[in-house]
Amino acid sequence: MCDVVTAPRRPALRRGARLGLLLLAAVLAWAPDASPQAPARPRLLMVTYSGGYQHDVVRRASPDRRSLAEQTAEDLGAQSGAFDVTRLYSREDVERLSADIFTKVRAVLFYTTGAPPFRPEVRQALLRFVQRGGGFVGVHCATDTWYEVPEYGELVGAYFDGHPWTQRVRLVVEDPTHSSTKHLGPGFEITDEIYQFRSWSRDKVHVLLRLDPSSVDVGKGKRADQDYALSWIRHHGRGRVFYTALGHGREVWEDERFRRHLLEGIRWAIGAR
């Protein structure tokens, strides 16, 4: 008799359980949309257009692959959680950029040569973006760029004027308190292509790294004062500019000391540190 009484209830319970499972599934399917979105990371616009000499570190093996420099920036941003990267590489990438990109990014990084073919209003928007508080990161040949745009030279702090030395050199850390240099100690040795500059003045920048002139044949350089700064920061209007002359070759981009120098320089320019 018990079986007779309970038997009809089993389908009812099973129906209830099925309904519960369906409801649970519906809630689970719906829940991700209802949860608050994680705040978006700051975005870095990385420009590696080469109008003149193209360095190996920014060459893509194929159009849809990342160069070593692009991959490094993406890895640094992702591993630190500090930023995401939007990449501009080809002439077409640069030509089709519109000025509203600067409402979507917190800093711009240039590893460029020659004249990146921004439309005139977009180039003006970039200069205005930094004046109004955006970040700018110049790496190595960013100073070998836009010679015909003096406002750009002022922004980055100098123009390239040859590279007298490609060898192992000693660098002096002038400011060991900055986040981009404090891991480097009082000085360090590195093998790289070493730039000299024109249209550069200590009055306009805060020097982070300089060449130790006793580590090279200083007679190859042009400066009577032997003052070869290789990384600096400056304020440009309300914006922050970080420049490092390092980064010619692959071995530098794979060097942990350079990677941290660059990561912290980007973070400083974004304003996160």
Distance (Å) of CA 207 to CA 26, 69, 243, 251, 262: 59, 24, 10, 24, 15
Q: Give whichever of 250 and 259 is closer to Zn ion, judged by the CB atom.
A: 250
Q: Give whichever of 130 and 156 is closer to Zn ion, judged by the CB atom.
A: 156
Q: Give whichever of 58 and 73 is closer to Zn ion, judged by the CB atom.
A: 58
Q: Give whichever of 88 and 139 is closer to Zn ion, judged by the CB atom.
A: 139
Residue nearest to Zn ion according to CB distances in the complex: 248
CA neighbor of 185 nearest in space, from 196, 174, 197: 174
Nearest distance in Å: CB 101, Zn ion: 27
Residues engaged in binding Zn ion (CB under 5 A): 193, 248
For residue 171, give the 3-state DSSP assignment. strand
Q: Give whichever of 174 and 193 is closer to Zn ion, judged by the CB atom.
A: 193
Nearest distance in Å: CB 150, Zn ion: 23
Radius of gyration, CA atoms only, the chain: 26
Nearest distance in Å: CB 252, Zn ion: 10
DSSP state of 57: G
Nearest distance in Å: CB 50, Zn ion: 11
DSSP state of 114: B
- For residue 15, count CB atoms less than 10 angstroms from its CB and return exposed for 0-12, middle for 13-18, buried for 19 or more: exposed
Q: Give whichever of 240 and 248 is closer to Zn ion, judged by the CB atom.
A: 248
Nearest distance in Å: CB 141, Zn ion: 6
Q: Give whichever of 72 and 178 is closer to Zn ion, judged by the CB atom.
A: 72
Q: Give whichever of 228 and 268 is closer to Zn ion, judged by the CB atom.
A: 228
Q: CA 15 to CA 19: how far, in whole Å? A: 6
For residue 17, give the 3-state DSSP assignment. helix
Nearest distance in Å: CB 139, Zn ion: 10
Q: DSSP secondary structure string, 189-247? A: EEEEEE--EES--GGG-EEEEEE-GGGS-GGGS--TT---EEEEEEEETTEEEEEE---
Nearest distance in Å: CB 96, Zn ion: 27
Q: CA 139 to CA 116: how far, in whole Å? A: 15
Strands 165-173 and 187-194, by their bridges, are antiparallel
For 84, the token pair is 């995401």
Nearest distance in Å: CB 255, Zn ion: 15
For 196, the token pair is 């000299």
